Amino acid sequence: MSTIAATVEPTATSGLVEIHNVRKSYAGVEVLSGIDLTIEPGEVVTILGPSGSGKSTLLRTINHLESVDSGSVTVDGELIGYELRGDRLHELREREILQRRTQVGIVFQSFNLFPHLTALENVTEAPIALKRLSKDDARTSALGLLDRVGLAEKASAYPRQLSGGQQQRVAIARALALKPKVLLFDEPTSALDPELVGEVLDVIRDLAQLGTTLIIVTHEIGFAREVSDRVVFLDHGVVVEQGPPSDVLVNPQNPRTREFLAKVLG
Ligand SMILES: Nc1ncnc2c1ncn2[C@@H]1O[C@H](COP(=O)(O)OP(=O)(O)OP(=O)(O)O)[C@@H](O)[C@H]1O
Ligand SMILES: [Mg+2]
């Protein structure tokens, strides 16, 4: 763990994610089988694993897009979807979940932008709807975010007028608009043409420098190696191996990690 602490941004004071014994089944089939992970403020963690191993499900439990069957997920000590009453967890009401969920942004493979809104409106929508910012302030902030992802000149473009890489960068700006403590990425470059992957990875690389906790599901092994403080390998809903990328990606100990890496690295 000392390697991890040494590489974490010293300025990051929030964004601690604690996942404790999380279990989740669909129709009697267990998809997450007791996940324990602590992700430090400002840490960059990539999650690797075969298709169906539970990577997306795990990400979705972190911002409570999925409920858990047992166990808990907290961000800076606060439960996202539940509150503790006595010794039992009760699911919060939708409104409260929405408020707490803003601490954790998520960027999907398929961008999920609002097609009828411009790039700028996609970014201002949530801060205005949640009454976090006035329209003017939301606009100023959104223009700054679009500039940060290299899209200042595309503010008035609609998603259909943007390339996949540009749409994904708008989606990242949108996720940042609520100033999340933690940002989740679920295969952010998988739907992109190869020549557009780099521009999205550049934006994520910049975020990694800024001290937001990042949890990234990706098949871009080279990128994972370069950007992560820690790599977590998931298989059949279990963390089978984790550690610094220089260990897990270079000298994997678990046979399942070895097999997976051999496949994706060709
Ligand atoms: N809403 C759902 N209802 C039923 N089964 C589901 C649901 N979501 C996921 N599953 C199942 O749970 C398992 C894990 O799915 P998950 O999407 O987390 O895998 P993954 O590791 O993200 O895979 P991939 O690399 O293909 O994205 C799969 O067997 C999947 O079919
Ligand atoms: Mg997935």
Q: Is residue 5 scored above 90 in pLDDT?
A: no
The bridge status of strand 29-39 relative to strand 17-26 is antiparallel
What is the spatial distance between Cα 105 and Cα 214, in angstroms, rounded to a whole number?
10
What is the spatial distance between Cα 25 and Cα 237, in angstroms, rounded to a whole number?
10
CA of residue 2 to ligand 1 center, whole Å: 33
Task: State the Cα angle at 99 between 95 and 75, rounded to 5°.
Answer: 130
Q: Domain spans of the chain?
A: 2-103+180-264, 111-179
Q: For helices 164-176 and 119-129, what crossing angle results, to 10°? A: 20
Does ligand 1 have an atom closer than 6 angstroms to the CB of 31?
Answer: yes
pLDDT of residue 9: 46
Mean pLDDT of 7-22: 78
- DSSP lists the bridge partners of residue 76 as none
Query: pLDDT tens for residues 170-220?
Result: 999 999 999 999 999 999 999 999 999 999 999 999 999 888 999 999 999
pLDDT grade, residue 11 (50/70/90)?
Answer: low
Q: What is the CATH number of domain 2-103+180-264?
A: 3.40.50.300
CA of residue 58 to ligand 2 center, whole Å: 9
Query: pLDDT tens for residues 62-103?
Result: 988 999 999 999 999 988 888 888 888 888 888 888 888 889
Query: Reduced to 3 states, what is the DSSP secondary structure of residue 167?
Result: helix
pLDDT of residue 33: 98
CA of residue 95 to ligand 2 center, whole Å: 27
Pair of tokens at residue 162: 């943007």
